[in-house]
């Protein structure tokens, strides 16, 4: 007797499913969550209907696509909490989180945005925030984290980090790294300067070079 409930996907189906997820990850990372469903389907080499049957809504697709990042996020905070020195753990969390978010524009949007319906991210984010709150409390006790630090400061930092856009992903990661270092400088109670990561070349050059002629730069 065959399984009446097709909980197991057909071979081509699961194959397509994987390619869809790969395409979604790639496009979400570069274009953000606003990447058109059609584009994802095209990039995966499937028709729109296939995409929509597998993932009826963009939320579901994003949830599945960002499972890895979600796991990495949880791993980061757990690792930070496990660190013997709370302040060191706190810094690690900030650095790694910034880098993680810098690597995928879409993940940041999904992580920050509050989806009341069915998105698992909310619970995950709350867990992360609560964990960091506890870590921050311990870090304050050691006197390394400034006493007036508030958990919202970390949310502020995440929101700020998402504003960092550059041309290439590498540049964005580098910029985020330096940003994280600056933020840590701002958060520590007894301020002793540690060297900052190198600056990445940002989009608008400082001197009056009239920018690259490549980008048409439409305003839309």
Partner DNA sequence: ACGCTAACGGACGCCCCCGTCCACTTTGGC
Partner DNA sequence: GCCAAAGTGGACGGGGGCGTCCGTTAGCGT
Site for DNA, rule CB under 7 A = 1-2, 6, 9-13, 15-17, 36-39, 45-50, 52-54, 56-58, 220
Q: Count interface residues toward a copy of itself (CB under 8 A).
A: 66
Question: Closest separation between CB of residue 22 and a copy of itself, Å?
Answer: 20
Contact with a copy of itself (CB under 8 A): which of 41, 62, 91, 136? Answer: 62
What are the CA-CA distances from residue 62 to residues 56, 110, 114, 155 (Å)? 11, 7, 13, 21
In 3-state terms, what secondary structure has residue 128? helix
Contact with a copy of itself (CB under 8 A): which of 88, 99, 129, 131? Answer: 129
Give the residue with the Cβ less far from DNA, 12 or 148: 12
Mask: binding to a copy of itself, 8-47, rule CB under 8 A, as x and -?
-------------------------xx-------------
Question: Closest separation between CB of residue 107 and a copy of itself, Å?
Answer: 13
Element (H, E) at 81: helix 67-82
How many angstroms separate the CA atoms of 44 and 209, rounded?
39
In 3-state terms, what secondary structure has residue 189? coil
Q: How many residues does the chain have?
A: 220
**Residue 56's binding partner, choosing from a copy of itself, DNA, none, with beta-carbon cut-off 5 to 8 A by kind?**
DNA
Task: Please report whether residue 168 would count as binding a copy of itself according to CB under 8 A.
Answer: no
Question: Please, what sign has the CA dihedral across residues 193, 159, 109, 89?
Answer: positive
Contact with a copy of itself (CB under 8 A): which of 16, 50, 59, 97? Answer: 59
Q: Are 120 and 66 in contact (CB under 8 A)?
A: no
Q: Are 86 and 135 in contact (CB under 8 A)?
A: yes
**Residue 47's binding partner, choosing from DNA, a copy of itself, none, with beta-carbon cut-off 5 to 8 A by kind?**
DNA
């Amino acid at each position: 007797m065959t399984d009446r409930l097709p909980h197991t996907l057909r071979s081509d189906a699961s194959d397509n499913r994987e390619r869809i997820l790969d395409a979604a990850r790639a496009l979400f990372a570069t274009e953000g969550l606003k990447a058109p469903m059609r584009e994802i389907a095209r990039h995966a080499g499937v028709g729109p209907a296939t995409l929509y049957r597998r993932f009826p809504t963009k939320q579901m697709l994003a949830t599945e696509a960002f499972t890895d990042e979600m796991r990495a996020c949880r791993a980061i905070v757990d690792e930070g909490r496990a660190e013997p020195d709370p302040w060191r753990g706190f810094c690690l969390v900030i650095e790694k989180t910034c880098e993680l978010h810098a690597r995928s524009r879409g993940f940041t949007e999904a992580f920050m945005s509050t989806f009341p319906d069915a998105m698992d991210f909310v619970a995950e984010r709350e867990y992360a925030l609560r964990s960091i709150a506890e870590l921050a409390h311990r870090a304050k006790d050691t006197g390394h984290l400034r006493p007036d630090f508030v958990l919202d400061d970390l949310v502020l930092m995440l929101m700020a980090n998402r504003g960092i856009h550059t041309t290439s992903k590498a540049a964005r990661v580098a910029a985020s790294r330096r940003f994280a270092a600056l933020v840590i400088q701002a958060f520590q109670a007894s301020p002793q300067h540690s060297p900052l990561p190198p600056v990445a070349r940002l989009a608008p050059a400082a001197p009056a070079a009239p920018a690259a002629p490549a980008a048409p730069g439409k305003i839309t």
